[in-house]
Chain A
Amino acid sequence: MNNDIVIQTKDLTKKFGSFTAVDHISFEVRRGEIFGFLGANGAGKTTAMRMLCGLSRPTSGMGQVAGFDIARQQEKIKQNIGYMSQKFSLYGDLKVWENIRLYAGIYGMKDADIARKTEELLERLDFTKERDTLVDSLPLGWKQKLAFSVSIFHEPKIVFLDEPTGGVDPTTRRQFWEMIYEAANRGITIFVTTHYMDEAEYCHRVSMMVDGRIDALDSPSNLKQQFNASSMDEVFRKLARKAERME
């Protein structure tokens, strides 16, 4: 396996009884890439992502994340990834720095490193005076930025973002994507699901899931050309029309 490829799947499949949630998907994600993972609700995005994160075992097919097998080396995978969900993932009754220390501690970072990096991070986010604020009393946009910073605090190889910008205003979404680009430039691979088609345009490459299959996978500009569409939204609508199964 090429060192530059951090996620690789081959015919990855997950069945729940007779229902095939994920149907033979194969793709590769390169290091430092921003990979958009799109699909309507119920298309199988979440199930596929859970398998990649080591939360769920594939029924058949293989996959590697950060060089580890997703069926057998889940513990190793968990050490090397970060995760942020659409639901807010910090603890509201803990202070900003306590949240950082908690997650860094869970990933086994040393106290001295945590202390040093916390100050750096707070300075970078211009959060220094909010150090001792309970997270509950921060505005949503700030929380979301903090949550992303925390998810890559331990310098994972890959970060999985599950609809990270849900319910956030457009200005904050822009700032959020700036942070994503910055992380990608540092070599962290971004695997992101989203509902917002304008965000799909920001990704280096986009995959579209329909009925558990990946029906299209390419850069946004190539996809638009291929489907003769003016926007990703149109590409998505043309593909989603083929969907047979409902939520």
Chain B
Amino acid sequence: MREFWVFVRKEFYHILRDRRTMMILLIMPVVMIILFGFALTTEVRNVNIGVLTSEPDHAVEQILNRLDASEYFTVKERLDSPDDIDRKFRGRELDMVIAFGDHFSEKVFDPEGAAMQLVVDATNASMAQSYTAYASAIVAQYQQDMQPGAGRKGIVPNVVLMYNPQMKSSYNFVPGIMGLTLMLICALMTSIAIVKEKETGTMEVLLVSPLRPIHIIIAKMIPYFTVSCVNLLTILLLSIFVLKVPVAGSMVALCVVSLIYIIIALSLGLLVSTLVDQQIIAMLFSSMLLMVPTILLCGMIFPVESMPEILQYFSHLLPPKWYIMAVRKLMIAGLPVSFIWKEIVILIVMAVLLITISLRKFNNRLE
């Protein structure tokens, strides 16, 4: 065992002496959290509204007041003619224009209903969709308040946003960043570290030494395991104290799931290292095969549910998807552990499979 710890100490020297890489590894999650949390927000905020109406009307005013009072919209100006819309959109002065039909108040209670049109600058399609959804919700709410009970026509959905009542997008991406960071540190860095020994020829010397191959592998993983624990802690602290995203569920369960996921990522790193012989290839391999799918296919940015079916099936094969899903349930929904059994079992099965395959490949290479 002493031989083993001598070797682990050397691994720590490697990463501690490479200051630049070390800084990148420690600071990257912080930068990502800040970027996603404050800059790349998909939240609706400060939407400037223009109003097109032919006459003063009290129902119109009430709706406008409600829109203006919400934190999403600002009623900026009254337009004189529909011809102004195009100019205002191009000048980036307005994001949305609401046009009200004639005699709006009287027609509100008509069977035909009152006419109202939302005109949105849809250059950013998903934002445009959010604007109309938010505005429609506010109008619907107004309508419901005006005619409660028997008088109401049609179906007025009462939308309840559970778990994330303010629709904060930061709630959504924190688990994603956790999945991505752990994958990056554990898989990418481990594969590079092992391949580096192959490239420089020191691996041969180690294999000829009395060190057992399994000890070499574990020793190489320990420093990255440590770094990823530090990262996990940083991300959680930042999200709790800076983004104000609470950990609603069990902290213990969160740590256990993360641990399983770290093991998966480490074995993926080992697997990559058995397949390639050069650091640069290991880097490409890990980033193309592990990072990109994690970012694009695991619900970090785009929801899995809205992908084409074939990609959804494919995403089932990706460990980060299950991890991110489990973390969302635990952190944001605050569900008890009994609700994430499926994810845990899938992750454990993946971990066992990957460890077996990568260790077997590693040993085969020795023969």
B205 and A56 contacting across the interface, CB-CB below 8 Å: no
How many pairs of A and B residues are in contact by the CB < 8 Å rule?
A: 72
Q: Given contacts A102-B6, A102-B7, A102-B10, are A108 and B210 in contact (CB under 8 A)?
A: yes
CA distance A78 to B205 in the complex (A): 11
B18 and A93 contacting across the interface, CB-CB below 8 Å: yes
CA distance A89 to B201 in the complex (A): 6
B204 and A106 contacting across the interface, CB-CB below 8 Å: no
Q: Shortest distance in angstroms between B207's beta carbon and chain A's nearest beta carbon?
A: 6
CA distance A156 to B127 in the complex (A): 71
User: Does A27 belong to the interface (CB within 8 Å)?
Assistant: no
- When distances are taken between beta carbons in the complex, the residues of chain B under 8 Å from A83 are 204-205, 208-209
The residue of chain A having its C-beta at the shortest distance from the C-beta of B207 within the complex is A55
A85 and B205 contacting across the interface, CB-CB below 8 Å: yes
Q: Shortest distance in angstroms between A110's beta carbon and chain B's nearest beta carbon?
A: 9
B200 and A87 contacting across the interface, CB-CB below 8 Å: yes
Q: Shortest distance in angstroms between A104's beta carbon and chain B's nearest beta carbon?
A: 8
Chain B interface helix/strand/loop/mixed? helix
User: Does A6 belong to the interface (CB within 8 Å)?
Assistant: no
User: Does B242 belong to the interface (CB within 8 Å)?
Assistant: no
User: Does A54 belong to the interface (CB within 8 Å)?
Assistant: yes
Chain A interface helix/strand/loop/mixed? loop
Q: Which of B7, B13, B367 contacts A106 (CB 8 A)?
A: B7
Q: Given contacts A55-B208, A83-B208, are A108 and B201 in contact (CB under 8 A)?
A: no
Q: Which of B209, B366, B367 has the most CB of A within 10 A?
A: B209
Q: Shortest distance in angstroms between A146's beta carbon and chain B's nearest beta carbon?
A: 13
User: Does B90 belong to the interface (CB within 8 Å)?
Assistant: no
B208 and A54 contacting across the interface, CB-CB below 8 Å: yes
Q: Which of B3, B9, B204, B207 has the most CB of A within 10 A?
A: B204
User: Does A204 belong to the interface (CB within 8 Å)?
Assistant: no
User: Does B92 belong to the interface (CB within 8 Å)?
Assistant: no
CA distance A90 to B13 in the complex (A): 14
User: Does B20 belong to the interface (CB within 8 Å)?
Assistant: no
User: Does A167 belong to the interface (CB within 8 Å)?
Assistant: no
The residue of chain B having its C-beta at the shortest distance from the C-beta of A84 within the complex is B205
User: Does B166 belong to the interface (CB within 8 Å)?
Assistant: no
The residue of chain B having its C-beta at the shortest distance from the C-beta of A114 within the complex is B6
B201 and A91 contacting across the interface, CB-CB below 8 Å: no
The residue of chain A having its C-beta at the shortest distance from the C-beta of B367 within the complex is A56
The residue of chain B having its C-beta at the shortest distance from the C-beta of A110 within the complex is B2
CA distance A102 to B201 in the complex (A): 16
User: Does A79 belong to the interface (CB within 8 Å)?
Assistant: yes
User: Does B342 belong to the interface (CB within 8 Å)?
Assistant: no
- When distances are taken between beta carbons in the complex, the residues of chain B under 8 Å from A94 are 10, 13
- When distances are taken between beta carbons in the complex, the residues of chain A under 8 Å from B200 are 87-88, 91-92
CA distance A151 to B209 in the complex (A): 10
A79 and B210 contacting across the interface, CB-CB below 8 Å: yes
- When distances are taken between beta carbons in the complex, the residues of chain B under 8 Å from A84 are 205
Q: Which of B6, B204, B205 contacts A105 (CB 8 A)?
A: B6
User: Does B14 belong to the interface (CB within 8 Å)?
Assistant: yes
CA distance A154 to B289 in the complex (A): 43
User: Does B211 belong to the interface (CB within 8 Å)?
Assistant: yes
- Scan residues 1-24 of chain B and give those whose CB is less than 8 A from a CB of chain A: 2-3, 6-7, 9-10, 13-14, 17-18
Q: Given contacts A91-B10, A102-B6, A102-B7, are A75 and B17 in contact (CB under 8 A)?
A: no
User: Does B202 belong to the interface (CB within 8 Å)?
Assistant: yes
Q: Which of B2, B13, B201, B366 contacts A88 (CB 8 A)?
A: B201
The residue of chain B having its C-beta at the shortest distance from the C-beta of A16 within the complex is B367
The residue of chain B having its C-beta at the shortest distance from the C-beta of A78 within the complex is B210
CA distance A56 to B18 in the complex (A): 34
A107 and B201 contacting across the interface, CB-CB below 8 Å: no
- When distances are taken between beta carbons in the complex, the residues of chain A under 8 Å from B10 are 91, 94, 98, 102
User: Does A160 belong to the interface (CB within 8 Å)?
Assistant: yes
User: Does A57 belong to the interface (CB within 8 Å)?
Assistant: yes
B209 and A106 contacting across the interface, CB-CB below 8 Å: yes
Q: Which of B14, B17, B208 contacts A81 (CB 8 A)?
A: B208
Q: Which of B2, B14, B208 contacts A78 (CB 8 A)?
A: B208
- When distances are taken between beta carbons in the complex, the residues of chain A under 8 Å from B2 are 105, 108
A85 and B13 contacting across the interface, CB-CB below 8 Å: no
A-B contacts, 20 listed (Cβ < 8 Å): A54-B208, A55-B208, A55-B366, A81-B208, A83-B205, A85-B205, A90-B202, A91-B200, A93-B13, A93-B14, A93-B18, A94-B13, A98-B10, A102-B9, A105-B2, A105-B6, A106-B210, A107-B3, A107-B209, A107-B210
Q: Which 9 A-B pairs have the closest CB atoms?
A: A87-B201, A105-B6, A83-B208, A89-B205, A78-B210, A106-B209, A93-B17, A53-B208, A102-B10
Given contact pairs A93-B17, A106-B209, a sample of 16 additional A-B residue pairs in the complex whose CB atoms are under 8 Å apart: A55-B208, A55-B366, A78-B209, A79-B210, A83-B205, A85-B201, A85-B204, A86-B201, A89-B205, A91-B10, A94-B10, A102-B9, A103-B209, A105-B3, A151-B205, A160-B208
- Chain B residues near A (Cβ < 8 Å): 2-3, 6-7, 9-10, 13-14, 17-18, 200-202, 204-211, 366-367
